[in-house]
Chain A
Amino acid sequence: MAASRRRPKAQTDSAPKQAASAEELLKYYREMLLIRRFEEKAGQLYGMGLIGGFCHLYIGQEAVVVGVQAALKEGDDVITSYRDHGHMLACGMDAKGVMAELTGRRGGYSKGKGGSMHMFSREKNFYGGHGIVGAQVPIGTGLAFAHKYNKDDGLSAVYCGDGAINQGQVYESFNMAALWKLPVLYVIENNKYAMGTSQERAAAGELFQRGSAYGIPGVQVNGMDVQEVRAAADQWVEYIRAGNGPVILEMKTYRYRGHSMSDPAKYRTKEEVEKMRSESDPIDKLKKVMLDGAFVTEDQLKEIDREVKAIVTESAEFAQQSPEPDPSELWTDVLVEA
């Protein structure tokens, strides 16, 4: 997996933050595991017909969102595409509310009216959940615009995939963000396949360089290693907060499941997937780091497994017990009543 290719000198000079503490590593492990177990459960509920429509699982990419979120602070905004369950959990949104939205129930974050691709939490500064490929990029740039307009210290983390990065509106956003030095971190989650089309067949050039014409620094990061993600995000978030404008982080990552639940993923070999799972899994990797460094005992890890499993089981139960929305909900939330 490629390491960071283009790190400006500043980073190597000013020593990056100290290696993460044992406590932080445990937190990353727990968050990544929660996303994985949650997504596995979502896949299961989908197979049982309890979740309908499109359902895009994040399994394999957990280190990206957990590492980036660790570098953000209270008041920063997050926005992403339709592969969004992991981001919501990493933002601290309640697993019960997310799962109940997947099952289209009253207890879901959008009262059952949004579904997998359209969930939001103003409380947690999570701005969706967007189903149109690339649409979150100008919207997220607008969140950053609002931070600048309000002269607060916040920034906006805008996630998009290697497919979205070919949309024209992404470059319209890059241009304005660079022109106006907006506080925005663009995170490209390059999982190698835009649905069934590999990056090689869809994208000319390197993705991390896509902002270079606008003077936006771009860095490629091993998105399968949560510590590398965190280190890069830390460094560049600081750069953004200093008023230098936008940054692009290209996370080299991989999704184990199909594009959505109905994707048989015939565009790649079983061996390729198996190789990534066995050699580059972000959760296994962190587990090894922690055990090797004696930061954690097997018993502690088992305890985390149990906690996470309990959260996921509870969310699945809630998602099945929560009633469907009342039919009267059809007509609410179309407009804000003045």
Chain B
Amino acid sequence: MPIEVLMPALSPTMTEGKLAKWVKKEGDEVKSGDVLAEIETDKATMEVEAVDEGRLGKILVAEGTENVAVNTPIAVILGDGEDATTNLSNIEESSPKTAAQPVIKDSGQRPDATMPTGPSKGPAAAPPASDEDKFFDKTVKKTVREALRDAMAEEMRRDPTVFLMGEEVAQYQGAYKVSQNLLQEFGPDRVIDTPITEYGFAGLGVGAAFKGLRPIVEFMTFNFAMQAIDHIVNSAAKTLYMSGGQMGCPIVFRGPNGAAARVAAQHSQDFTPWYASVPGLKVVAPYSASDFKGLMKAAIRDPNPVIFLENEILYGQSFEVPESEDFIVPIGRAKIRRAGTDVTITAHSLMVSYALAAAELLEKEGISAEVIDLRTIRPLDTETVVNSVKKTNRLVTVEEAWPTCSIGSELSALMMEHAFDYLDAPVIRVNGLDVPMPYAANLEKLVLPSPERIADAAKKACYRA
């Protein structure tokens, strides 16, 4: 169908202009981006680019014509098999019209000529150094819940600008009892019960952080943070960039993420990939109590917004935690939880325990699995994964999140970029199934990854399935 090219509005105030010059002639092939004509407005001469492909069938407004009103048809572009004898008066009002794209004449360099290499284009960056191991000579058994509370209490003692706010964090002592005794120690000015108003208090926390306070904003679960995600992404993550570096936002958004047990679709979602895709955020999702403590302290001290993803099922689990208050786990560093030689399995949060269980199953079958606890999801410790894959030549990724655009998808792409020549088998993703979480106990179990599913995937990667 012939497509009319209309006189473009080249400025918000332009109503008419002069068709100064036709760059294409009748019969010329045109493709998207080709300059069709030059148009003079009262302010500038601008080029007009074609948006559609085809052949310039007929010029309707001759070169040199002045006072051509905006939206006047100036030419017709013909597709395959159409010819200039097509009766143009038959073009119906509903036929597709195209506004040509104005481009300001610019003698500057093409942007890609000077495109700097971004962090993601270089080799897998090394993770930050860590002295965390030296603190494990004196440890005490703690639950994840206690470790989180201790981390917050220690940082609140250390820095008077740190405060905790959220639903039920104070008088109720935390919906999951994570903030036990904090109100008693720090008082209601620093441990603040909010109304049920996620969007509001997330934004309020961002404002307080802009002014230099260090809020810890608890979401009762991250499912409810979807109400607040505009402030997390648009306000917390982007403002430093949009302000040219002036307006930092040192804030921690924390709370349980992912499936708990039998709470169905709206309360059982893993948001890790959502936040991990956003520049300007850091995202951590620890597994052990020591990592919860060390990473929470790092998150509170970090000058950037940190998404701290916890897990309800892990809260009550106990681990050895260093006694020293100087113990900190740097953001951006993965941990090899179990060394192995045949296949690498990555996981974070609760799924680390499933990956470790899968490694036990695999050992019985003579497969040695290396389990990497990612701990931080953004920035991802690509180097540690790549180095492992260079050794095992196989990768299985494990997470609760849906498979599409998941952390596994990302790791798979990273292996293409950084470990392609070392892979002896395709990367395999083990994810939550691609459905909303069902309520029925048997169905819920089928959705989530299990040690058996992980072991099966690892065997497949080793061509042993």
Contacts and interface: CB of A to CB of B under 8 A. Distances in A.
A215 interface: no
A287 interface: no
Interface stretch (B168-176, B234-242, B258-266, B446-454): B234-242
Given A146-B208, A149-B163, A139 B203 contact: yes
B208 A335 contact: no
Contact of B44 (A48, A131, A324, A332): A48
A109 B244 contact: yes
Interface string A29-43: 000000000000000
A168 B245 contact: no
Nearest to B106: A49
B96 interface: no
A130 interface: yes
Given A120-B239, A120-B247, A328-B116, A139 B197 contact: no
| B14, B115, B201, B280: most-surrounded residue (chain A CB, <10 A) | B201
B246 A120 contact: yes
A144 B203 CA distance: 12
Contacts, number: 175
Contacts of A131: 234
B240 A149 contact: no
Interface stretch (A18-26, A83-91, A169-177, A187-195): A169-177
A333 B245 contact: yes
A146 B207 contact: yes
Interface stretch (B51-59, B210-218, B360-368, B398-406): B210-218
Contact of B210 (A114, A139, A150, A331): A139
A330 B117 CA distance: 10
A143 B204 CA distance: 7
Q: Range of interface residues on chain A? A: 35 or more
Interface in A45-86: 46-49, 77, 79
Nearest to A324: B108
A110 B240 CA distance: 9
Given A118-B242, A120-B247, A335-B240, A145 B302 contact: no
A128 B10 CA distance: 30
A46 B12 contact: yes
Contacts of B194: 176
A77 B212 CA distance: 13
Nearest to A334: B279
B247 A127 contact: yes
A103 interface: no
Contacts of B241: 113, 333-334
A201 interface: no
Contacts of A119: 243
Given A138-B231, A336-B303, A110 B243 contact: yes
A138 B240 contact: no
Contact of B116 (A110, A327, A336): A327
A296 interface: no
A235 interface: no
A160 interface: no
B342 to A, nearest CB: 37
B248 interface: yes
Given A111-B245, A331-B116, A334-B279, A141 B44 contact: no
Contact of A138 (B111, B119, B207, B248): B207
A79 to B, nearest CB: 8
B280 A335 contact: yes
Contacts of B119: 331
A338 interface: yes
A311 interface: no
B208 A149 contact: yes
B245 A146 contact: no
A141 B203 contact: yes
Contact of B195 (A77, A128, A175, A261): A175
A139 B239 CA distance: 12
Interface string B293-318: 00000000111100000000000000
Contacts of A113: 241-242, 244
Given A139-B203, A139-B210, A176-B201, A47 B244 contact: no
B229 to A, nearest CB: 12
B197 A330 contact: no
Nearest to B192: A180
Contact of B203 (A135, A150, A327, A336): A135
B189 interface: yes
B230 interface: yes
A203 B210 CA distance: 31
Contacts of B442: none
Nearest to A118: B242
A179 interface: yes
A214 to B, nearest CB: 11
Nearest to B200: A172
Contacts of A111: 244-245
Nearest to B205: A142
Count chain A CB atoms within 10 A of each CB in B108, B197, B301 and give the residue with the most. B197
A49 B212 CA distance: 38
A139 B206 contact: yes
A274 to B, nearest CB: 18
B282 interface: yes
Interface string A315-338: 000000000100110111111101
A223 to B, nearest CB: 25
A298 to B, nearest CB: 32
A333 B247 CA distance: 10
Given A335-B304, A336-B304, A142 B239 contact: no
A157 interface: no
Most buried by B among A114, A129, A156, A169: A169
A122 interface: yes
A262 interface: yes
Given A132-B234, A135-B235, A149 B213 contact: yes
Interface string B373-395: 00000000000000000000000
A332 B245 CA distance: 8
Nearest to A47: B11
Given A176-B197, A335-B282, A143 B303 contact: no
A137 B203 contact: yes
B433 to A, nearest CB: 34
B189 A149 contact: yes
A331 B204 CA distance: 28
B244 A110 contact: yes
A114 B242 contact: yes
Contacts of B111: 327
Given A140-B207, A331-B118, A338-B302, A135 B234 contact: yes
A58 B195 CA distance: 35
B13 interface: yes
Nearest to A168: B199
23 contacts: A49-B10, A77-B211, A79-B207, A110-B243, A110-B246, A127-B207, A127-B210, A131-B234, A135-B231, A138-B199, A142-B207, A143-B210, A143-B211, A146-B211, A146-B212, A149-B213, A169-B200, A262-B12, A324-B108, A330-B118, A333-B245, A335-B282, A335-B304
Q: Which 6 residue pairs across A and B have the least CB separation, nearest first?
A: A142-B207, A172-B200, A138-B203, A111-B244, A146-B211, A118-B242
